[in-house]
Amino acid sequence: MEPPERPARGAPAPWDDPAATPLVVFDAVTKRYGAETAVAELSLAIHEREFFALLGPSGCGKSTLMRMLAGFETPSEGRVLLAGQDLAGVPPHLRPVNMLFQSYALFPHMSVEKNVAFGLAMEGRPRDEIGARVGEVLRMVKLDGFAGRKPHQLSGGQRQRVALARALVKRPKVLLLDEPLGALDRKLREETQFELMALQERLGLTFIIVTHDQDEAMTMATRIAVMDKGRIAQVGTPPVVYEAPASRYVAGFIGEINLVEGRVAAVEGRRVTVATAAGDLAVAEAAESVAVGEAVAVAWRPEKTRIVRAGEAISNGRAVMSGTVHDVGYLGGRTTYHVEASGLRLKAAVANASRSVERPLAAGDKVKLAVTPDALILLVR
Ligand code: ADP
Ligand code: MG
């Protein structure tokens, strides 16, 4: 039988296919520690060959969820299934799941080779099999010249790859990565992200990564589950959670956003007009049905906001807000403007596509912000 196609980012996806069987299923899982609920009636399905990201602030239950899949914690209620099998009572070492910890937890006195071989030696594998598998996996993570070194003779990035090799050598079906890049500097982090993506694709494995870094999740993941206090706020591909957030929480957690509270003033089909402090905002395509008078929010991304001087003309059909530039952040590739408008602080981000700017906007300048109706997002929750 042909192995299944990897769900390439953007391609047709098994999670949209009701006939597809997920590899990992959390079925109404709750985990309590005394009076505290770390994970609350959470259901989630992850498919084979996904690079799945659990994203949320510290303490929202991400690690607890992974530890229940790896077998280090037992759910208080609900079931965890792998390939249709209930994992209750299956000890960690008998689960086809391996976990890569944030701390790497390498043995400091052992060489790279011994660190990677350790798990196989514990299983009592024959010496030549261990040698072959360790050699193979060290080549995979580009550490074949480093087999004899001790962890303290390696850089942070190399130590991270030893930990990865040690997890991969066991040939897990699912690799869990709990904040695996936290100790790396920005540049190395980005390189490692792409290495991990390439490796996951090449090996055809299922990766589940835990992170509190939205850029990391957006870059790497086939899908993201955004978590909030032990629950899932939204599951979707990176473009879906960014462009169509399901709630105020998700909208605010992923990327920068303008969010204005208001009341529904008119509904015409999917077009919903909301009265706000920034004036009437007409959302072209509301994702949810609402009634006149309902309290809702309207959100839009800074990069979808046009900013011009107060005197300049704006084409029709856009929501226009007048205000004053409060501050300007020049970031090289783009500039962000914070604008005071009707008592609100709104953001506009402009890509610096050309090198010369004749007379840049500055703090105190009177401006207009304009947004097209299709850039506006209606939020009910
Ligand atoms: P995250 O990984 O998202 O930062 P965790 O899953 O580690 O969050 O923790 C979720 C919540 O459960 C936190 O409030 C944490 O304090 C609590 N918690 C986690 N592990 C334990 C434990 N072994 N005993 C008691 N409380 C715990
Ligand atoms: Mg954690």
336 C-alpha to ligand 1 centroid (Å)? 36
- Tell me the CA–centroid distance for residue 200 and ligand 1, in Å: 28
Same domain, 187 and 241: yes
What pLDDT, on the 0 to 100 scale, is given for residue 4? 43
Which residue's CA is the nearest one to ligand 1's atom 16? 59
- What pTM does this model have? 0.87
Domain for residue 338, yes or no?
A: yes
* Last residue of one domain, picked from the residues 210, 232, 248: 248
Do residues 239 and 282 share a domain? no
User: Which ligand has the minimum distance to the alpha carbon of residue 35?
Assistant: 1
Residue 306 and residue 177 share a domain: no
Residue 5 is predicted with a pLDDT of 47
Q: In this predicted structure, what is the pLDDT of residue 187?
A: 81
Compute the average pLDDT of residues 325-354: 92
Task: Write out pLDDT tens, residues 117-175.
Answer: 998 998 899 999 999 999 988 988 888 899 999 999 998 888 888 998 998 898 889 99
Instruction: Show the ligand 1 pocket: residues with CB < 6 angstroms.
Output: 33, 36, 38, 56, 58-64
Domain check: are 228 and 267 in the same one?
A: no
Q: Is residue 299 part of a domain?
A: yes
Same-domain status, 192 and 277: no
CA count, 13 A, side-chain hemisphere, 86: 9
- Tell me which of 224, 248, 272 is where a domain ends: 248
Per residue in 299-318, pLDDT (tens digit) is 999 999 999 999 888 887 78
Ligand 2 (ion): residues with CB under 5 Å are 63
Query: Does residue 2 register a pLDDT over 50?
Result: no
Q: What is the CATH number of the domain that holds 232?
A: 3.40.50.300
Per-residue pLDDT band for 11 (boundaries 50, 70, 90) equals low
Co-location of 277 and 344 in the same domain: yes
Protein residue with least CA distance to atom 12, ligand 1? 38
Answer yes or no: do 229 and 302 share one domain.
no
Angle at Cα 104 formed by Cα 102 and Cα 110, nearest 5°? 170
Residue with the bigger pLDDT between 187 and 63: it is 63
Question: Percent of the chain beyond pLDDT 90?
Answer: 65
- The pLDDT value recorded for residue 243 is 94
Q: Are residues 208 and 283 in the same domain?
A: no
Domain that holds residue 326: 256-379
Of ligand 1's atoms, which has the minimum distance to the CA of residue 66?
A: 6
Q: Which residue has the tokens 């953001």?
A: 347
